[in-house]
Each structure stands twice: as C-alpha cells, then as structure tokens.
Chain A
C-alpha cells in the first residue's frame, strides 16, 4: 500500500517520458490523475492511522533487500508514521493542485507532456524521500528531487538564463548532497546500519564528537536542499523555471526537505548541542538574509523566493531548538506549503495575464482586472505576515515563542531575530501586494510591442488557487485547536514546552506590534506615494540586497576565483614538477642512449674489441674474487 504512493507518480513519469507524442493530448490529465491517486492513497492511510492508538500508528513495509552484502544491509523499506504521513498529504495534495494548475498554465507549451512527466518524477522522488525508513533510501529520493528540480528549472532550456540557473542549482545542491553522503558514511561506520530506528536508538551510547560531526554534515545537506546560508545562492535563480515549479518545488515541498531531515534526525541533534546551535544560527541568519533580499527585489518571483528562504529559515531555526521546536517547524512547514504555493500560483496567474512580465514596477492596479487572483493572493499575503486568525499567525507565532523559550541569552537573541524577521516579512509582503494590485497602472508593452490585457486566468488555474487560499486561511487554526497538531506529532518528535521568560500573550502582542510597524512602513513608502516604474538607485543596503546581498559576488571571488587560482597553481606544479621529473628522465635516457649509440659503429672489429675487453674484465673479476 505504501509502495503504491511512490509507484503511481513513478509510473506516470515513465509513461509520460517514454510514451512519445501519442500522449500529447492526454498526458497532462494522466499526470494529474496519478498525482491524485497518490493523494487518495495518502488519505486512506491517514484515516487508517487516525483509527489507531497514538503509539501503534507507525506502519512499516519491507519491499525488497536492495544491497544484501555481509555486514552491509540496505533495504528498500518504507516507514509511515505521523511525520511522514503529514508530508505525504502535503506533497501529494499541493502536488495535485499544482498539476491541475499547470494544465492551464502550460497550455501553450508544446512540451507540456514532458513537463508533467518531470512533475510526476518529482512527486515520486519526494514521496520516496519522506517514506524511506533508512538514510540510504532517503538519499535516493534526495538525489531524485535534485534531478527533477534541475530538469524543471531548466525546462525552458532555450533561454540561456534558465539553463545556467539549472546548472547552478544542481552544482550548489551537490555540495549539500556531499554532506548527506558523508553523514551516511559516518553513520555506517559508527552504527553499522542506516535504518532510522536503529541509528536513532543508538545515539545514547555514542560519543558526542561523532554525533556532532554527523549533525553538522546533515546540516550541510539541509543547507543545500533548503537554500540556507551559505548554500542559498541557487534559489533566486531557480525562479527561471515555470511558475508551477517554483510553487511546488521551490516553495512548498522540495526546499523543505532539509527541515524534514533535521526533524527526522532529531535524536542525533538532541545529543549534539553544538550541532544544534549551528542549526539555530543558520536558521536565524537565513531568515534575516532572505527577508532583506525579499525587500529589494522587483521581480515578483524573486521577491517571493527571498521570502521562501526566510520562512524556511524560521523552520530551520525551530528545528534547531530541539524538542521545543520540532512540532512548530513542521507546522510552519505545512502552513507555509499552503500559503506560499498559493502566493506563487497567484504570481503565475498575474504573469499569465501580463504577457509574462515579472517586474512588479510594471504592474499596479490589477485588483479590478483579476479579482480571484487578488483575493486568493491577498489571503496568502495575510497568512504569511501572520494576520490574526490565519495560518501564519498560529505557526510563526509559535516559533517565535519557542525561540524565546530556548532560555538564556541565546533565547533572547533568537527570539529577537525571529521578531525582527516578522517585521521585515510584513514589510516586503505588503510591498509586493501594493506594487502588484494597488496604485496606478504602470503597464508597459512587452518586447514585441504587445500592450498587456490583464484578465482572470482559466478555471483550472483559479480552482487550485482558491483551494490553497482556503488552506492558508484555515490550516493554522485547525491545527491549533486544542494543540491538535502537537499531539499528533508528539509520538515521533516528542515535545517540550521549555520555559519562556515571556508569556504567550506578550509574544503575540509583540508580534502584532512589529506586524503593524512593517505594514505601515511599506504603506508609507509604496502606498502613499506613486511607485516609480524605474527602480531608484537606493541606499547601499538596497543595492546590495538587489544583488542578493553580494552572495554571488562572494561565491565568485572566493570560490570561483579561488578555484581558478588553485587549478592554475596545480597546473603549474604539474608542468614544472611532475612533467619536469618525467621529461627529465626521458631526456637523460635519450642523451645517454645517444652516446651509447656511437658504440654501434658497424665495424665488426670494434665489436670484437668490446667482446675481448668484456671477457678480459670478467676473467679478471673472477680471478680477483678467487684471490679474495
């Protein structure tokens, strides 16, 4: 049953990618249907699970023994517990909606069938990632989603920017993947197994140093996949892919794989406080980093990408808090999956109506022309800034509380950073909202001189947006009634309330205050005054943020140039030292043989002389040896 979850989209990918043009007419429906099949199976398993007691909800399925070698046992086996089923529902649910949306969005693309094949491949890999019961199988899924992400970012490969972005995403992810593979090797040498259950149970008897090393490597992996500092640079460029891809892979699901990895490996991090601290630091830095980048971007998708980075920063921060935060990390992950996917689909709908224009400075006043998009995007906006009663309010607020509950100076710092992040979130999202839907029309004809005629998108696009908007509104409240979500996940992640120096009400109050400050600032800057259609020069920080806070420049100077220098010096060493030794040997042998050649002069008598000479020497030597 569990295997079917993965098999359905995998079958879809195989059929769609190998089926050829015959499937062009039905391919998209087939892909969507198989995604829906996964979702339905997920729902059935979920209701099954609800009927059982909290302790025996975990389902295991051993499919086959993958690499049976003595002392090395790798199985293809699945584990479905409360954590995985949450992910399964999110992935297949949002995935199905986005498949549906893509039918409309990709309507005019002649490679639509292939697009759906890749989407199905992604779903299969992502489900494999969350369903695996051991790290090695998780790694298979981990690489699979990386591949699907690469294929989908570079889907419009005729654009050089898309091809480059795909390559960049792949390469940066590779660094993270290296971390995961090293972590898995370390696990094998330490515990002799990959299975979650065995590894996590054995953490008690293992030295802290080893666990810290494993934890840091897992963190590196999470940084790569989830676009956290310092491996964040690929996410902004990944927006070159089609918008549904940005919504599904680079907002709702794949980029949250890092959070899943850390929460899943919770016991390792609990036993390695240093690694845990590193996780919180990465989360805190990224949540500010992404938020600042999001404030300066004029490209609507890149602004949302900055926001994604920042929200995942929140999740990583929460995951780094240990048992205080795991539940909230996952809860924010799920609510974020709803509202960020909704926001991206809204952005895609706006682009669809505006001749694929992405510059928000050329939008404005769209609320009258796209009412459904406006309302759904608006609800997503209210959810992400944490408007009371909507999803983001419940999940983000809990993370901020948990950060304070960490205790000590650390708690205060992390809490303040999270609060500051909330203010910036309110600012940049309000900016996006105002620039897109309010104010004057600043529309400009596109490159071919066509004036945009904004219009509402077709039903297949608006229905998913509406459903996701419903999710963004209700999910948080639904999860929070009686701490439902917490009790649901508790058997897997455990939970600890920590002791907060501030009461929940104080934190909520503070969050509301920073929210109002952020929104007001954005309104003062963009709502009260007309938005210039050419970006002003801006302050030093703005200019840096437009360039992604110089992350590419940093990578270029340190890694690219550094790499070039390294290779050049290696080439130099190769040329002088290695080649020197080799060529020198060859030259001296050559010279020597040139001299030796002269001995062979063709005169039989001179050969005879050397022969006699040789014999004489031999005889002399023999006699000498005898005498001695």
Chain B
C-alpha cells in the first residue's frame, strides 16, 4: 500500500482534531481533540520514517508520546482545578484573562 495514504489519513485526523478544538466547548472533549491531533502527527512521523527509509520519524514519535503523557497529567490537573473553582467544564467560562 502506498505510504502516502497514511499521510492523507494523518491530515484528516489532524483536521478533525483541530475542528474539535475550535468548535467544542467541553474542556474534556477539547482535550481529547488535542490528543487526536498529537496522534495524527505521530502517524505522519511514522509514515515519513517509512517513506524515507530511516528511523528518525519513529524516534520522534516516541518522544511525542512521552511529552503527550506528561501533557495529559498537567492538562487533567488544570481541568480538575478549573472544574473545582467554576463548577463547569466549559472552556468559555475560563475567560478572566482579558482586558
């Protein structure tokens, strides 16, 4: 199978994730969409590794997973504390940082 198709799939997943981040209000869903975008990137990296015939892309994909795991920890902590203080899981409610 042509590895380029994986790239198309990655782009599609990324677009879905991005759209989710932009249009959904629920913080948990937004968070999951971010994960989706990260995984789309991982897929693209692996596909590139295959295309170029070396392992660089796969190594980067591992790095991304590690970073994503850390990001999940921090992100979930923020979400929990946000929910505790506001009793809401909507991203639009967290809008104090404006002029």
Q: What are 16 A-B residue pairs whose CB atoms fall within 8 Å in the complex?
A: A600-B98, A600-B99, A601-B98, A602-B95, A602-B97, A603-B92, A604-B91, A605-B21, A605-B22, A605-B25, A605-B30, A605-B91, A608-B21, A609-B22, A612-B18, A612-B22
Nearest-neighbour CB distance to chain B for A538, whole angstroms, equals 79
Contact status B99-A608, CB under 8 Å: no
- Which chain B residues numbered 13 to 52 have a C-beta less than 8 Å away from chain A? 18, 21-23, 25, 30
From A597, A601, A608, give the contact of B95 (CB < 8 A). A601
CB-based contact A602/B21 at 8 Å: no
How far is A597 from B22 in the complex, measured between Cα atoms in Å? 21
| Cα-based distance from A609 to B91 in the complex (angstroms) | 14
Contact across chains for B99 and A604 when beta carbons are under 8 A apart: no
Of the candidates A600, A601, A608, the one whose C-beta lies within 8 Å of that of B22 is A608
- Nearest Cβ distance between residue B81 and chain A, in whole angstroms? 15
Q: Mark A594-628, 1 if CB is under 8 A from B, else 0.
A: 00010011111100110010000000000000000
CA distance A604 to B33 in the complex (A): 14
Is A597 in contact with B99, judged by CB distance below 8 angstroms?
yes
Chain A, residue nearest B34 (CB): A608
Besides the known contacts A605-B23, A605-B92, 4 further A-B residue pairs in the complex with CB atoms under 8 A apart = A597-B99, A602-B98, A604-B94, A605-B21
Could you list which residues of chain B lie within 8 angstroms of chain A, going by C-beta atoms?
18, 21-23, 25, 30, 91-92, 94-99
Q: How far is the CA of A603 from the CA of B23 in the complex (A)?
A: 12
Q: Which residues of the partner chain A approach B95 to less than 8 Å between Cβ atoms?
A: 601-604
Residues of B contacting A605 in the complex (Cβ-Cβ under 8 angstroms): 21-23, 25, 30, 91-92
**In the complex, what distance in Å separates the CA atom of A604 from the CA atom of B22?**
9
Q: What separation, in Å, do the CA atoms of A602 and B99 have in the docked complex?
A: 8
Q: Report yes or no: A602 in contact with B22, Cβ–Cβ below 8 A.
A: no
Give the complex CA separation of A605 and B21 in angstroms.
Answer: 7
Residues of the A chain whose Cβ atoms lie less than 8 Å from the Cβ of B23? 605
Contacts of B22 in A (CB 8 A): 605, 608-609, 612
Task: Point out the residues of chain B lying under 8 angstroms from A608, CB to CB.
Answer: 21-22
With both beta carbons as reference points, the residue of chain A lying nearest to B97 in the complex is identified as A602
* Distance of A609 Cα from B96 Cα, bound (Å): 18
Cβ contacts under 8 Å, A600 to chain B:
98-99
Q: In the complex, A602 Cα to B96 Cα: how many Å? A: 6
Max chain B Cβ within 10 angstroms of own Cβ: one of A601, A604, A609: A604
Query: With A and B bound together, what is the CA distance between A597 and B99 in angstroms?
Result: 7
From residue A614, how far is it (CB to closest CB) to chain B in Å?
Answer: 13
CB nearest neighbor in B for A607? B97
User: With a CB–CB cut-off of 8 A, which chain A residues contact B30?
Assistant: 605
A-B pairs, top 10 by smallest CB distance, nearest first, are A602-B98, A602-B95, A604-B91, A597-B99, A600-B98, A601-B98, A608-B21, A603-B92, A603-B95, A600-B99
In the bound complex, how far is the Cα of B30 from the Cα of A349, in angstroms?
107
CA distance A608 to B25 in the complex (A): 13
Q: How distant is the Cα of A568 from the Cα of B11 in the complex, in angstroms?
A: 70
By a CB distance below 8 angstroms, the chain B residues around A602 are: 95-98
Beta-carbon contacts under 8 Å, A365-403 to B:
none
A532, B82: Cα distance in complex, Å: 105
B16 CB to closest chain A CB (Å) equals: 13
Which residues on the B side are within 8 Å of A597 (C-beta)?
99
Measured CB to CB, the closest approach of chain A to B11, in angstroms, equals: 12
Which residues of chain B are near A612, meaning CB under 8 Å?
18, 22
B13 CB to nearest A CB, Å: 15
CB-CB nearest in chain A for B27: A604
Determine how close the nearest CB of chain B comes to the CB of A415; give it in whole angstroms: 88
Closest B residue by C-beta to A616: B18
Min Cβ gap A602→B in Å is 3
Chain B's closest residue to A597 (CB) is: B99
Set of chain A residues within 8 Å of B99, measured between Cβ atoms: 597, 600
Contacts of B91 in A (CB 8 A): 603-605
> Cα distance A427–B95 when bound, in Å?
98
CA distance A605 to B94 in the complex (A): 11
Chain A residue at minimum C-beta to C-beta distance from B98: A602
Within 8 A of B (CB), among A563-614: 597, 600-605, 608-609, 612
CB distance from B70 to the nearest CB of A (A): 20
Complex alpha-carbon distance, A605 and B20, angstroms: 10
* Docked complex Cα distance between A612 and B18 (Å): 8
**Interface centre among B25, B91, B94, B98, by most A CB within 10 Å?**
B98
Q: How far is the CA of A609 from the CA of B22 in the complex (A)?
A: 7
